[in-house]
Amino acid sequence: MANPYVKLLGAQIRSQLQYRASFFLDLSMATLLSAVDIGALFLLFRVTPALGGFGWREVILMTAISGAGFCMADLAVGEIERLKHYIRTGLLDTVLLRPMSALGQLLVLDFATRRAGRVVQGTLFYLVALTVAPVKWDAARVVYAIVAPINAAVFFSAVFVTLAAIAFWWIESGDIANAFTYGGRDFTAYPSTMFHGWFRGLFAFGLGFAFVAYLPALALLGLSEPIGLPDWARWCSPLVTLVVVLIARATWLAGLRRYGSTGS
């Protein structure tokens, strides 16, 4: 018997294709939207030779890791930010009445197919960036080059889930999650050295965003971290991601438990 998640996903895509014209316009616009983000980087390099002490060939690798990872996460779990809506309309109850995982169902129930174009575009851009950037290729770096965007995707997915779960406690939270999801993407698209003081401390290390693209890119480029992190820290991204995933899991489960006891 076919996997029920795959079946649900297929149904979701079929119902989106009912509005075909709008769907394809949306698909192309969403793809363009992320291409524009990359263009923006080149605009900045028109007026400055270096960003945070790095040349464009180096920064482009960070932007590409962050972009590819974010697109994948956004495609896979981005719609989880609609949790508020699911709680309000009672869809979450329907989901809980089926013999499947609640998170798994929510992800496929509102799968945003129109974001698929971005993943293709983000991946292509990453491949280009790998050839343009002065990567010090060796066996470990080949592995890390494959791991880095996937790691970024898992990291962002965990951030999406954690922040969406806030709705279990605070349903009127507005778009506070965007500060860390889209905000996180903006932060990780640049070297962390562009930011200063407590703000950098909080985003780069407190929330771990330095480990998404900045540090893996430095590892691939064979550059030391100028703020003063030891060289081995550049290779620790998957560990940090693991911690973030565990936090996301705990938050989500606590949220579901809370929903079970308050029903709202």
Instruction: Write out the residues near ligand ADP by the rule CB under 6 A.
Output: 262-264
Q: How far is the CB of 151 from ligand ADP (least distance, A)?
A: 39
**Comparison of 134 and 260: residue with beta carbon closer to ligand ADP:** 260
With CB under 5 to 8 Å by kind, the binding choice for 187 among another protein, ligand ADP, none is another protein
With CB under 5 to 8 Å by kind, the binding choice for 230 among another protein, ligand ADP, none is none
With CB under 5 to 8 Å by kind, the binding choice for 93 among ligand ADP, another protein, none is another protein
157 vs 151: CA distance, rounded Å = 10
Q: Which amino acid is at 209?
A: F
Q: How far is the CB of 128 from another protein (least distance, A)?
A: 22
Contacts with another protein, residue ranges (CB under 8 A):
1-4, 7-8, 11, 14-16, 18-19, 21-26, 28-30, 32-33, 36, 40, 43-44, 46-52, 89-91, 93-94, 96-101, 170, 172-176, 178-180, 183, 186-187, 190, 194-196, 199, 257, 260-263
Q: How far is the CB of 205 from another protein (least distance, A)?
A: 16
Closest CA to 212 of 76, 61, 74, 75: 61
**Tokens 């999406």 belong to residue:** 160
Q: 99-108 contacts: CB < 8 A, separation 24 or more?
A: 100/4, 100/5, 102/256, 103/161, 103/252, 104/5, 105/5, 105/8, 106/80, 107/76, 107/77, 107/79, 107/80, 108/5, 108/8, 108/9, 108/12
With CB under 5 to 8 Å by kind, the binding choice for 173 among another protein, ligand ADP, none is another protein
Residue number with the smallest Cβ distance to ligand ADP: 263
159 vs 203: CA distance, rounded Å = 13
* Region of 53 on the Ramachandran plot (φ > 0 left; ψ -120 to 50 alpha; else beta): left
DSSP state of 53: T
**Comparison of 137 and 182: residue with beta carbon closer to another protein:** 182
Q: How far is the CB of 4 from another protein (least distance, A)?
A: 4
Q: How far is the CB of 194 from another protein (least distance, A)?
A: 5
